[in-house]
Structures are given as C-alpha cells and as structure tokens.
Chain A
Amino acid sequence: MKPSSNKLGSAALKAAFVLSCASPGLAPALAQSIAGPVTYQLDPDHTFVTFEVLHFGTSTLRGRIGPVTGEVTVDRGAKTGDLRLRIPVATLDTGMRVLDARLREPDLLAAAEYPEAYFVATRFQFDAAGGVKEVRGEFTLRGVGQPLSLYAKSFGCRRDERLKREVCGGDFTGDLKRHDFGATFGEPFVSDDVHLVVQVEAIAPEAAGAR
C-alpha cells in the first residue's frame, strides 16, 4: 500500500501497486541460505523511528522521526549482522509544530547542534527460523552514546515483485531513559522512560534478490 518512491506519478504509482500487489511474493526467503554477508539498503519510505513518552501519567505523546537512512549487512549462514542507522532528529514530527520546535531545543533533542542520532549495532540474534530477533548496539543522541537493544515484534522477508529484489524488515522496539542522554526537560511530568517503535524495511542488492 505504501510506495517506495515519492517521485512516481500517480498513474505509474497505481501500475506499480498492481504489479507489486498482484503477487505479494511472500516466499520463505529466510529458508534460503545465502552464502556470505548481504548488504541491504534501508527503504526510506518504510523506515521510521517513533518515540513514545507518557505525558502526566495520562496519555502517550508520540513523535515520528524519519525517513531513516542507512544499511544493514546480514550473514545468515554465520548468523551475524551489522546495522548502521542515521536518524535525522530535526525531522521530528509530532503533528504539532509548536511541540516539535520545543522538542528540538537544546535541553531536549538539541537538533541544531546534533541534527542526527545514530544507531550502530553489531550484535544480532536470530530465531530458529533465521529471522532477526534482537539487535544490540550503541545509540547516540545529542552526541551521547549509550547501549541499546532493539527487539523484533515482527520480522519477515519477501520477494518484492515490483523491485525484483528481496526485502526484509520488521517492527522493533526498545527502551531508553532520556536522562542517560542529558535530555531531562519536563521531568517528572513527562516521563524519563522513552519507548522506541521502529519500522524498518531493507532492500537486498539485485544479485541476492534474484535467488
């Protein structure tokens, strides 16, 4: 339902949807053992970080950051992986511009001084089916790096008929305490606990996708 390029015209888009949808291509790509590491490029149309933080113990304030760019290398045989995300914090969007501006200020995201956050993970855990289960690494926000684990709530691979490539991705979540990154404004009325919800899809190179 979501196109992979903003530049496509609507007619082309419609054609692309029909093509991509006519056969969803949910082949069990994970069962295939691709020898050696494969590097996937993140699909910016399907890769976003949303943070969730409880407001006055009442409701959950959300902000979406993205599109997130980067790449992920997975070696299914060796069960290793390497993920590099560049997270443009200045794109923060809560749906309220006034709130966005406040959250970008130096005592919170410090977006002017630190326009990007990073997540670099080199420790991957896989489930029995070969899907990514957990990625552990370092999250850098406001120039401060802290360990962070993201856990898969869902993970899958498919043959994308429109792209003619393999696409893998899922939904991941993680938790951090914002005081660890020096972003304490508004506590305790706005919680110190931040829940991260990460949508990610990544596209294999042509050779890998052709298998």
Chain B
Amino acid sequence: MKKISLIAALAALGFAAAAHAESATYAIEPSHTFATFEIGHFNTSTNRGRFNKTSGTVTLDKAAKTGSLDVTVDTSSLDTGTAAFTKHISSEEILNVAVNPTAHLVATKFTFNGDKVSEIDGNLTLNGKTNPVVLKAQNYNCYNSPMIKREVCGGDFDTTIVRSQYGVNYGLNYGFPDNVHLVIQVEAVKQ
C-alpha cells in the first residue's frame, strides 16, 4: 500500500514536472505582429491606422493553460497611408506621440478553449493612461516554422476601447466616435 502511494506520488511529481516543462517563453515576431485601429468616419466608411513596430514577450504554459505577456507598441510607427492623417493622430491633440512614444499591454490572465488561447485579460497603457482590456481571439494556432525551425504561436485578436478613457477626446464633440476597434495580428517565436 505504501509502495503504491509512493509510486502514485512519484507519478504525480513526474506529471507536475512534465507540466512545468510546458512553460515556455516566446518572443514577439515583428514581421507578423501589427496592431491596427479602426474608427468610423462620419457614418460613411472606416478609417484605419497600423502601428508598424511592436516588441515584447509572451509566456505560455500549455499544460497548465496559463500565460502572460508584456508587449510594447511604438506609437511613432503609426502608418495610415495618408501622411497628413498620420501626422494629425500623432500630434498632441490625439496620441501625443512625442510625450507618450509607446503603448504598453501587460496581461497575466489567459483563457483557453481546449488547447487554444481564446481570451487575454490585461491592462493597456495608451497616452499615459491605463485601463483594463479583454482581447478576444478570432484565430489562434501554433505551428513549427519550416524557415526558422522553431515553434511559432499566434493569432488574431480584437477588442474595442473607449478612447476618452485614455484621455483621447479629439473630435468627440464633432461626432467622431469614442469607440475604437483594435485589430491585432500577433505571432511569437519559442525561445
């Protein structure tokens, strides 16, 4: 009996060790990681802007179904396709990039659906102000990259933020929407 419980204990330990070994760090892959904002334009079409530079790390424990991330977006890398629009959004009236050159997302709560990350709860700092955000996965997958011979995990995430909560109030009184849809492509390489 004693022997059996010892074996069970060892097995449990072994399982725990295996589970622990699942925890890994992934580095954000900048060529497949972009945050894009979408905001309505006079109830007609949607204006978009993409931030070209993002960096950071993600940790994933697939067995324990936990994760965390710490990602920084270079707000001066904004690119809308229209120089004057990019300049205006970067100005002190809106994102004030000179004073707040980064946006920062920190998350310690990952929700899994089966073996896929379905939701990430974190805190977004933008324009120097921090608010909670919930990113929902539209796609999520891991694959072994034939190019770099490493595992890559990533997906498409989105959320809607209320920009006035970040002190970004420009044009609210003219009818420009307070809600901004964030669309995030992310891939991260196992280290």
Q: Give A residues with C-beta under 8 Å from B.
A: 1-3, 5-6, 8, 10, 13, 17-18, 20-22, 24-26, 45-46, 48, 50, 54-62, 64, 66-67, 93, 95-96, 98-99, 154-158, 160, 167-171, 189, 199-201
Contacting pair B143 A57 (CB below 8 A): yes
- Given A57-B141, A57-B143, A67-B82, verify A1-B44 contact (CB < 8 Å): no
**Are B155 and A158 in touch, CB under 8 angstroms?**
no
A199 vs B174: C-alpha distance when bound (angstroms): 21
Are the CB atoms of B81 and A56 closer together than 8 Å? no
Tell me, in angstroms, the Cα distance from A105 to B87 when the chains sit together: 31
A62 and B85 in contact, given A1-B176, A55-B187 (Cβ under 8 angstroms): no
B32 to chain A, nearest CB (A): 6
A93 touching B185 in the complex, CB below 8 Å, given contacts A58-B154, A58-B155: no
Known: A1-B176, A21-B175, A60-B185. A154 touches B50 (CB 8 A): no
Is residue B179 within 8 Å, beta carbon to beta carbon, of the partner chain? no
Q: Are A59 and B44 interface neighbours, CB within 8 A?
A: no
Contact A1 B185 (CB under 8 A): no
When the two chains form their complex, are residues A56 and B141 in contact, meaning their CB atoms are under 8 A apart? Answer: yes
A160–B170 Cα distance when bound, in Å, is 19
For B185, list chain A residues within 8 Å (CB).
Answer: 59-62
B88-120, CB under 8 A of A: which get 1 and which 0?
110000000000000000000000000000000
Which of B34, B52, B84 contacts A5, CB < 8 Å?
B84
Nearest B residue to A45, CB-CB: B82
Q: What's the tally of chain B residues with a CB closer than 8 Å to chain A?
A: 46
Shortest Cβ gap from B15 to chain A (Å): 29
> Taking A21-B174, A64-B50 as contacts, is the C-beta distance between A58 and B152 under 8 angstroms?
yes
Which residues of A are found within 8 Å of B174, using beta-carbon distances?
A: 17-18, 20-22, 24
Contact at A1–B85, with CB atoms within 8 Å? yes
B25 at interface (Cβ–Cβ under 8 A)?
no
Question: Which A residues touch B88, using CB under 8 A?
Answer: 1, 3, 10, 13, 17
- A27→B110 CA distance, assembly (Å): 45
Provide the residues of chain B in CB contact with A167, threshold 8 Å.
42, 44
Within 8 A of A (CB), among B21-73: 30-32, 34, 36, 39, 41-48, 50, 52
Q: Across the two chains, which residue of chain A brings its CB closest to B153?
A: A58
B47 with A46: CB separation less than 8 A: yes
Return the contact of A26 from the options B42, B84, B143, B171 (Cβ within 8 A). B42
Known: A48-B81, A98-B31. A1 touches B154 (CB 8 A): no
Contact partners of B131 in chain A: CB under 8 A: none
Contact A171–B143 (Cβ < 8 Å): no
| CB–CB A2/B50 < 8 A | no
CB closest residue in chain A, given B146: A189
**CB-CB nearest in chain A for B94:** A1
A128 to B92, CA, bound (A): 43
Q: Which residue of A lies closest to B47 (CB)?
A: A2
Q: From known contacts A46-B41, A56-B152, A62-B36, infer whether A21 and B176 are also in contact, taking CB-CB under 8 Å.
A: yes
